[in-house]
Structure 1
Amino acid sequence: MPRFSALACALLLACPPLAAQTLLTPQEQRIATAADADQPHNIALLETLVNQNSGTYNLAGVTAVAKRLAPELEALGFKTEWKPMQHAGRAGHLIATHQGSSTGRRILLIGHLDTVFEPDSPFTGFRIDGNRAIGPGVGDDKGGVVVILAALRALKAADALRDADITVVLTGDEEDVGQPVAQARADLIAAGKRADVALDFENLSHADGRDMGSIARRSSNTWTLTVHGETGHSSGIFSESMGDGAAFELARILAAFRTELPEPNLTFNVGLLGGGEQAAFDAGKTRLTASGKDNIVPPIALARGDFRTLSAAQTKRVGEKMRAIVSRHLPRTDATLEIDENYPPMAPTAGNRALLAKLNAINRDLGLEEMGELDPLSRGAGDISFVAADVDGLVGMGASGGNSHADGEYVELDSLPRQAKRAALLMHRLAQAPR
């Protein structure tokens, strides 16, 4: 037994534990230390950003946030450019580029300037309650923007930013993308085609109390259904001359959607509907007016909703199934279906999983718990999806918090340096890896 114990000890000394083999390099330790020391700047900047309303339709407010952020990026050696988007009905995008001399991987960082809270929102102002910062857009996505800047400052402080090739795109209309979408996202798509890796700094996700990695996002598509039928006295409903009327045709289509469309990773919804003797959407198709009488067969019925998919193939397949359902008209009715593909999907890929594995190596080196893959049904659509076909990516690199898009939205302040360390170290290692 003593001989075996001595041999075992010798083997242990020759093969140190995994944790000892994966310690941060001295430069990486300086990055982590700088991120921890930067918290007062993080909180001050977050307060300034949150107290400036930047609802998507508040074009002046979105522009003001961009003007506040541009000097922060320029101080780090980035060249900034403001891309006005008034032609798309939105404020614009802030784009910052740092073209280093490294032959490492080119990195795209994605965030957004706008929030869902417009100037007339009753939820206003920044406040701190213990470890929480509370305010409109504090997490989605002003906390994420603060994490981007904190990570870049940590790299700069450790002399690890100089050679890195990094582009930052902060859109001004993520919460309601401008139209036409191709124009509103042209700059982001171009940046994605140039990059090797994309990191999305919307909220960090959780499951069962654990930080989670996100390698996929579903699409966001809207559909509009317009149904016509014969009209007249209700006593003639279902007759050969009157047919079934627009309301029953609408009901048939929606019932068929419910029974025939379901499949894994798909959700679909009816958000607005109505019909009668007269019915019409407003210009934005967010309101519907209708009028009629109980004894008049309605000649028109309208409905609008969305559906979300995990791949382009699923989007196409579901759209074809919806059109086939619509085409099976009840007697003397007609219907048309319009589908608008607003946000494409970000499908889970081997490249995305490899990125998450790199992030988990950093988690181990920092002494943090490894992050599992988040179920794509737990995230909405986002800007990274516009570049997902061209580049590997990760989602949820921003701050940890809750109540997103609601009164009481918050971030956990201690998540800012933690997320900055994760992001900075991942960028550092990617910048050193060959393209």
Structure 2
Amino acid sequence: MKSILVALLLSGLALMCSAQISKIESKIVRSVEIHNQTYVQLLKDVVNTNSGTMNFDGVRAVGMTLKPYFDDLGMETTWVSGESFNRAGHLVAVNKGTKGPKLLLIGHLDTVFEPDHPFQSFQMLNDSLIQGPGVIDMKGGDVIILAALHALKDAGVLKDMHIEVVLTGDEEKSGSPLELSKKAIIEASERADIALAFENADGDPRTIVVTRRGSSGWKLEVTGNAAHSSQIFTERVGVGSIYETSRILNAFYTELSTEENLTFNPGVILGGTAITYDNNKNGGTAYGKSNVVAKQTLVNGDIRAVSLEQLSRAKEAMLRITAENRPGTSSELTFKAGGYPPLTETEGNHVLLGYYSKVSQDLGYGEVKPVHPRKAGAADVSFTNGLVDMAIDGLGLAGSDDHTANETGNLNYLPIQSKRAAVLMYRLCFDTN
């Protein structure tokens, strides 16, 4: 696979000598412009179909709306059942050409908005701004994938390209076990050389993601001696679970908060004489009196790191801090299995960014720079880490406020992103000889 990276470096140098697009690239651009309204309507249709992760029928409905478009491109489409990991499933489409590197395109069908959420429909705010659940995260990206592939077909080159598309149905709330939930992406990554993901990145089309922080969970459980509050701090009673929890959390902050690109957030805390916690509801109850030393405290949080090495160092420090118990207390810190791995920053990812930026400039849309890791959350592309030569994310629709009822996209960028993606894929497959 290293030959692909070398070839791209060499062809990238050649392309720097020319700022013009080729005749085939002109056909690609023209196709996107001709069919843009078709894909605007498709975006409206899928946004108006609720596909909250746990609305399995809705997720499948969005997949079945997109499937005929892949079929019309001549791709082999498959619905991967999600029964084994308690989700709707995934849509996979494959084009088995033989020219150039094998490309993996990544998107997702689900949103964070379940059927009981009030935010349900597509609407035009003006002549270019749209609002709706998933317009940028990431139904806009799914539509851009199709528009780009359509343009490649119209230009007569798609048939020669090896492209696999994986649109997952559980990106926003992953199924379990994770090894089955992400099996389709992992296996596709093992077959691919280059991964292109169509999330919306930080909403700025002048940037692209070359690294993403991973995300996983942790749980802190602390026990103290229940006693009358008048006896707190004595040798027999100690400090109680709440004071010990506060020591641990403060030490996490003091020792680790200044490390670049590392974050760890205590999302919920319960403490008192007795507590209950329901994982399915992400909440619970706490009972206690002001004159009783707290016996139990629980904290659930997440941790995000830019590399596996950084994550390992942080875990070691947190475990060490937790073990340094104050008198009369005991504590246990556990890290949840699974989670999203980081997308490690690599030379290959930067080469691919350079190629994409050159495409953007040749099309008249300007230079593209990398997103800061703190602005790029966990996403499915991270499961390609170490399996492909190069990967970037953020090729989706530009907009703002995803995961909120103000989620907004800019339709002016639908053809722009489609052109950039299509020309990038064309050059990757045909400019490396």
Say whether the 8 Å CA contact 2:201–2:376 is kept in structure 1.
no
The yes-or-no answer on 1:298 pairing with 2:303 is no
2:134 maps to what in 1? 137
Query: How many Å separate the matches in 1 of 2:391 and 2:355?
Result: 12
Query: How many Å separate the matches in 2 of 1:386 and 1:19?
Result: 32
Say whether the 8 Å CA contact 2:77–2:93 is kept in structure 1.
yes
Shift of 1:149: 0.3
2:268 maps to what in 1? 272
Say whether the 8 Å CA contact 2:16–2:358 is kept in structure 1.
no
Paired letter, 2:268: L
SS in 2 for 1:205: coil
Paired letter, 1:248: Y
1:12 maps to what in 2? none
Shift of 1:216: 0.8
Aligned length: 415
1:78 maps to what in 2? 75
2:222 maps to what in 1? 227
Say whether the 8 Å CA contact 2:208–2:353 is kept in structure 1.
yes
The yes-or-no answer on 1:126 pairing with 2:122 is yes
Shift of 1:381: 0.7
Shift of 1:20: 8.4
1:51 maps to what in 2? 48
Shift of 1:147: 0.3
Say whether the 8 Å CA contact 2:69–2:146 is kept in structure 1.
yes
1:5 maps to what in 2? none
SS in 1 for 2:429: helix
Give a deviation string over 1:39-64, Cα, whole Å, max 9, x none: 11111100110010000111111011
Matching residue within 75, 95, 99 for 1:98: 95
2:144 maps to what in 1? 147
Matching residue within 332, 336, 351 for 1:336: 332
Give a deviation string over 1:335-358, Cα, whole Å, max 9, x none: 111112411001211000000111
Q: Percent identity?
A: 43
2:411 maps to what in 1? 413
Structure 2 unaligned spans of 5+: 1-14
2:212 maps to what in 1? 217
Shift of 1:19: 8.9
Structure 1 residues 360-371: aligned runs within 5 Å: 360-371=357-368
Say whether the 8 Å CA contact 1:56–1:173 is kept in structure 2.
yes
| Two-structure CA RMSD over aligned residues (Å) | 1.5
Query: How many Å separate the matches in 1 of 2:279 and 2:344?
Result: 33
Shift of 1:260: 0.7
The yes-or-no answer on 1:385 pairing with 2:382 is yes
Query: How many Å separate the matches in 1 of 2:104 and 2:288?
Result: 54
1:9 maps to what in 2? none
Give a deviation string over 1:268-311, Cα, whole Å, max 9, x none: 21110011111121032611211111111111100011111100
Q: TM-score, normalised by structure 2?
A: 0.93
Say whether the 8 Å CA contact 2:261–2:374 is kept in structure 1.
yes
Q: TM-score, normalised by structure 1?
A: 0.93
User: Runs (4+) of structure 1 moved beyond 6 Å?
Assistant: none
Query: How many Å separate the matches in 2 of 1:219 and 1:311?
Result: 7
Structure 1 unaligned spans of 5+: 1-17
The yes-or-no answer on 1:422 pairing with 2:420 is yes
Structure 1 residues 29-48: aligned runs within 5 Å: 29-48=26-45
Paired letter, 2:51: S
Say whether the 8 Å CA contact 1:140–1:202 is kept in structure 2.
yes
